[in-house]
């Protein structure tokens, strides 16, 4: 499940966090959870609120720069090593950048990873010489094999951890044929 997260820029001086909280409270927007990333000079306050559109509006009207990013929400039980509640949900092994937790009901926690997990249908990922590759479109009918690092299964799809940035067009249904063509041409070349 994707949810919206608000991030805002704050200077790193005492009392800076007060005003946004007060503004949100005034507008009746509830903060579900927050995290703060800071450096010596400034910080980024990341918020998950009950009504992100209203929250953004209130903060922007007050002069804050607000970014909206989508984050992945995963429900897990509140105990060590608990797997995601939904079996096909993907909890990245490296919730690398940051994680939130928010209570929902008694002891259920939503872990949120801000890393957009890129997934591809299983058939788009082919293996050549033990290496996982996808076929990226470069030109009208030219596809080039590109090595990728794959992660866990996400339902019928598979997470791609490295090698793609998400903007590429990738062959899905024809990927196997492309692999066959590629192997054929390398064979005949030898």
Partner 1 sequence: MLIIRGVNVFPSQIEAALLQVEGTLPHYQIILTRQKGLDALEVQVEVTQEFFSDEVRELEALHDRLVDALDHTLGLRVTVRLVQPRTIQRSEGKAKRVIDRRES
Residues that bind partner 1 (CB under 8 A): 5, 7, 9-11, 37-39, 41-42, 44, 46, 63-65, 67, 69, 114
CB of 160 to partner 1, least distance (A): 20
Start-to-end CA distance of the chain, whole Å, equals: 49
Nearer to partner 1 (CB atom), residue 61 or residue 181:
61
Which CB atom, from 114 or from 175, has the smaller least distance to partner 1? Answer: 114
- DSSP H helices, 43-161, are 52-61
Measured between alpha carbons, how far is 2 from 36 in angstroms, rounded to an integer?
20
| Strand-by-strand arrangement of the 108-113 sheet | 31-38, 42-49, 2-11, 66-77, 108-113, 99-104
CB closer to partner 1 out of 44 and 172: 44
Greatest C-alpha distance within the chain: 73
By C-beta, is 16 or 32 nearer to partner 1? 16
Q: Which is nearer to partner 1, 66 or 111 (CB)?
A: 66
Cα–Cα distance for residue pair 87/76, rounded to 1 Å: 11
Asked if 115 and 96 count as a contact pair (C-beta separation under 8 A), the reply is: yes
Task: Write down the least CB distance from residue 104 to partner 1, Å.
Answer: 24
Q: How far is the CB of 115 from partner 1 (least distance, A)?
A: 12
**Beta carbon of residue 11, minimum distance to partner 1 (angstroms, whole number):** 5
Rg of the chain taking only CA atoms, in angstroms: 22
C-beta of 16: minimal distance to partner 1 in Å?
A: 8
Angle between helices 52-61 and 18-26 (to 10 degrees): 120
Q: Note whether 119 and 159 are within 8 A (CB).
A: yes
């Amino acid at each position: 499940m994707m949810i919206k997260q608000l991030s805002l820029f704050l200077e790193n001086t005492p009392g800076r966090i007060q005003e946004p909280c007060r503004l949100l409270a005034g507008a009746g927007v509830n903060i579900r959870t927050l995290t703060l990333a800071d450096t010596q000079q400034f910080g980024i306050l990341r918020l998950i609120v009950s009504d992100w559109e209203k929250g953004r509006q209130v903060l922007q009207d007050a002069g804050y720069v607000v970014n909206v990013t989508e984050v992945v929400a995963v429900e897990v039980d509140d105990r060590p090593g608990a797997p995601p509640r939904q079996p096909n949900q993907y909890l990245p092994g490296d919730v690398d950048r940051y994680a939130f937790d928010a209570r929902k009901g008694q002891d259920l926690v939503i872990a949120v990873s801000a890393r957009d997990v890129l997934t591809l249908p299983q058939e788009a990922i082919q293996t050549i010489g033990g290496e996982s590759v996808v076929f990226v479109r470069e030109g009208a009918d030219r596809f080039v094999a590109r090595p990728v690092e794959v992660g866990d299964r996400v339902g019928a799809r598979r997470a791609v951890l490295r090698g793609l940035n998400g903007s590429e067009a990738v062959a899905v249904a024809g990927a196997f044929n492309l692999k066959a063509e590629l192997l054929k041409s390398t064979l005949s070349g030898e």
